[in-house]
Amino acid sequence: MLASAPVSRNSAIDLPAEVASAASAPPPAAAARSVVLVGMPGAGKTAIGKRLAARLGLPFRDADAEIESAAGMPITEIFSRYGEPHFRDGERRVITRLLAGPPLVLATGGGAFADAATRRAIKASGAATLWLRCSMATLLRRVAGREHRPMFLNADPAEVLQRLMSARHPSYAEADVTVTCTDESPEVTTRRVEEALAAAVTPQRLSVGLGDRGYDVLVGPGLLARAGGLIGPVLPARKAVVLTDASVAPLHLPALRAGLEAAGFDMLAEVAVPPGEASKDFSRLQEVLETVLSEGLDRRTAVIALGGGVVGDLAGFAAAVAMRGVPFVQIPTTLLAQVDSSVGGKTGVNLRAGKNLAGAFHQPRIVLADTDTLATLPARELRAGYAEVAKHGLLQGALWNWCEQHGTAVVAGESAALTHAVLESCRLKAAVVAADEREESAEGGRALLNLGHTFGHALEAEARFDGTVLHGEAVAVGLGLAASLSARLGHCSQEWPSRVIAHLAACGLPSRIADLPRRFTVEALMGRMAKDKKNRDGKMRFVLMRAAGDCFTSSEVPAEAVTALLRDEGAG
């Protein structure tokens, strides 16, 4: 019914077997499954459900009718005799039994999906859930004449419906698909429901295994519109502030706002900072904190990052220090952020001494990587993000082979290639972060994710974060330099620098220092690298490679070898 969204063993990263085998495997085909219709009284769940079942060739069941049949009495009598808790328990058992059988279309009572335990049971069954969402005016017209029903006895229907909508809409927003119903004919609505189900893509879900601080990474299209329903269950309260930038806000903030409001979120503040690395500093951090605190942020308020890596790092650091730590949600909108910075909990700001030298580890509660947002990226930003995908390929092995075959499709913006690149990059990073969250491993571990970054951060910092050299562009050059240094030290064959540099160049990325639009000196770059936060005991620390899928960290790199490489590669 719902379509599925579209390693070699590393000596230093011990990846789970499923990560190794998933790098180039196609997604599995979706099996037929049940459809559960949820919504308010008067939404048309039974009328639409019967028609939908006929169109899909599935049996139809009405949960309320099944409950009355099993109990041998009307629902009103069950309520009056035994109370709502007893009814909800029986309702849950009936729905669970029905969904345990062959696929069907099931219409539920208005309160079923609003019950947390029943909602969990429906989700656990694997059924597709669809919310028939109606306006107040539509519902009032449809419930006219139902004044005899218990909920409307001696009450104003509008007041009753408003109360129920306020209580239940946040739960309905957790449905997989939402279709807004109007006064059109049931046949037209049924056709739109069928089309919505056919077009829906189930997001891929990856887990970052950090025990009590673990969280899921969701990858797929259309996640902004569903954001409230997806993030609400993992937050302590439906209150949030959104941090974004002035370029992203007009593109994606309206969709996010609507998705949050549909799930009953109270939006305390929306803060937009100027785009670019210059926003990652202490003065901007203080402005953000003063703003959100003045709007009423408390320890149950989530900070939501909507944007690229700069916004994610800044928002995450703000969440880490506000009230000594508040919930944090990552909604990355760039390829660079989706494949790298949004996963792992590293947050921070830049100092004059270098990039990300002040920060904290603060894990998000959930990451929503909406692949639809990548269609709005400028070509240069998309190419820059691909550098991190290539890095993950070199770390993993099998993904590098995929990159060499499909990298040009990724930077061309082809949807299937982008989705695969994001999914597999997140899969690798989730496994690495789970094994070495705070980069404390003596060798290898999370430090391997810095392949190319010792060089890249030096180049980026020396460019003063002024936009002439993007982070991904600096990393691309850094990957070429890391491969070249590995070859010069005898760790890999000369084939690898040639392959890495040629592939990055074919994808439109700078791959050598001389490709960058400004000049650098050996002395300046060496000075930057000497202050790199990954250094230990005063020694520069590099990630080197023997081959794709076989990388390692080393502090035994002669400074003169690095100096000679920089000079040969174009530094003055």
Looking at residue 145, its pLDDT comes to 66
Residue 385 lies in a domain: no
- Annotated binding-site residue numbers for NAD(+): 309-313, 333-334, 346, 355, 373-376
Q: Does an H or E element contain 51, and which?
A: helix 45-56
| Residue 3 maps to a domain | no
Please tell me the distance from the alpha carbon of residue 460 to that of residue 467, in angstroms, as a whole number. 9
In a domain, 212, yes or no: yes
Q: How many other CB atoms sit within 10 Å of the CB of residue 544?
A: 20
Q: How far is CA 349 from the centre of its chain?
A: 22
Instruction: Identify whether 16 is part of a domain.
Output: no
469 lies in the same domain as 557: yes
Q: Does 161 lie in the same domain as 40?
A: yes
pLDDT at residue 467 tops 60: yes
400-418 pLDDT, tens per residue?
Answer: 999 999 999 999 999 999 9
- 95-108: string of b/e by CB count within 10 Å (b at 16+)? beebbeeebbbbbb
344: left (phi over 0), alpha (psi -120 to 50) or beta: left
Residue type, 341: S
Co-location of 235 and 345 in the same domain: yes
Q: Which tokens is 20 given?
A: 């190794």
- Which positions make up the binding site for ATP? 42-47, 149
Specify the pLDDT at position 19. Answer: 44
The parent domain of residue 468 ranges over 439-569
Active-site positions read 324, 346, 388, 429, 439, 446, 450, 453, 457, 471
CATH of the domain at 86: 3.40.50.300
Annotated binding site for Mg(2+): 46
Q: Are residues 208 and 182 in the same domain?
A: no
Q: What is the CATH number of the domain that holds 351?
A: 3.40.50.1970
Is position 407 within any domain?
no
pLDDT score for 143: 81
343-352: pLDDT as tens digits: 999 999 999 8
Q: How confident is the model at residue 398 (pLDDT cuts 50, 70, 90)?
A: very high
346-351 and 302-307: which strand pairing? unpaired
User: CB of 277 within 8 A of CB of 465?
Assistant: yes
DSSP code of residue 33: -
Same domain, 160 and 186: yes
For the stretch 501-511, pLDDT in tens is 999 999 999 99
pLDDT in tens, 234-253: 999 999 999 999 999 999 99
In this prediction, residue 16 carries a pLDDT of: 45
What is the rounded average pLDDT for all residues in the chain? Answer: 91
Measured over the CA atoms of residue 275, residue 276, residue 280 and residue 281, the dihedral's sign is negative
Please state the domain count of the chain.
3
| DSSP assignment of 365-379 | SEEEEEGGGGGGS-H
pLDDT at 567 over 60: yes
With bands split at pLDDT 50, 70 and 90, how would you rate the model's confidence at 18?
very low
pLDDT digits (tens, 9 = 90+) for 104-158: 999 999 999 999 999 999 999 999 999 999 999 999 888 876 655 667 667 788 8
Same-domain pairing of 135 and 188: yes
On whether both 259 and 192 belong to a single domain, the answer is no
79-105: average pLDDT: 94
| Closest by Cα among 308, 278, 484 to 388 | 308
Helices 309-321 and 282-294, axial angle in degrees (round to 10): 60
d(CA 329, CA 204): 17
What is the amino acid identity at position 74?
P
- Among the residues of 351-470, which ranges form H helices? 379-396, 398-411, 415-435, 453-462
d(CA 548, CA 35): 44
% of the chain beyond a pLDDT of 90: 82
Q: Is residue 22 assigned to a domain?
A: no
User: Of the given ranges (227-236, 380-389, 532-541), which has the lowest mean pLDDT?
Assistant: 532-541
Is the pLDDT score of 22 beyond 50? no
Q: What is the DSSP string of 2-25?
A: PEEP--PPPSS----HHHHHHSSP
The angle that helices 559-568 and 471-488 make with each other, rounded to 10 degrees, is 120
What CATH number is given to the structural domain containing 454? 1.20.1090.10
Separation CA 223–CA 189 (nearest Å): 23
Distance CA 567, CA 181 (A): 66
Q: What is the mean pLDDT of residues 52-59?
A: 96
Per-residue model confidence as pLDDT tens digits over 182-239:
889 999 999 999 999 999 999 999 999 999 999 999 999 999 999 999 999 999 999 9
165 and 215, same structural domain? no
Cβ–Cβ under 8 Å, residues 492 and 483: yes
For residues 259 and 124, membership in a common domain is answered with no
Whether residue 3 is predicted with pLDDT greater than 60 in this model: the reply is no
Least confident of 37-46, 80-89, 267-276: 80-89
Q: Rounded to whole angstroms, how far apart are CA atoms 386 and 554?
A: 25
pLDDT digits (tens, 9 = 90+) for 39-51: 999 999 999 999 9
Q: Does residue 549 share a domain with residue 452?
A: yes
Task: Please compute Rg for the chain using Cα positions.
Answer: 27
Same domain, 347 and 289: yes
**Residue ranges at the known binding site:** 42-47, 64, 88, 110, 149, 168, 309-313, 333-334, 346, 355, 373-376, 388, 453, 471
Contact 321, 290 (CB under 8 A): no
pLDDT at 24 over 60: no
41 and 103 part of one domain: yes
Residue 225 lies in a domain: yes
**Whole-angstrom distance, CA of residue 504 vs CA of residue 485:** 17
Nearest to 570 by CA among 455, 489, 491: 455
At residue 110, the 3 state secondary structure works out as coil
Which residues make beta-bridge pairs with 179?
Answer: 132
Element (H, E) at 540: none
- Answer yes or no: is 178 within a domain: yes
Dist. CA 93–CA 67, nearest whole Å = 9
Residue 28 is given by DSSP the state P
C-alpha–C-alpha distance, residues 527 and 293, integer Å: 39
Question: For position 193, what pLDDT does the model report?
Answer: 97
Q: Find the mean pLDDT for residues 15-26.
A: 45
Beta bridge partners of 272: 244
Query: What's residue 291's pLDDT?
Result: 98
Domain boundary among the residues 389, 420, 451 is at 420
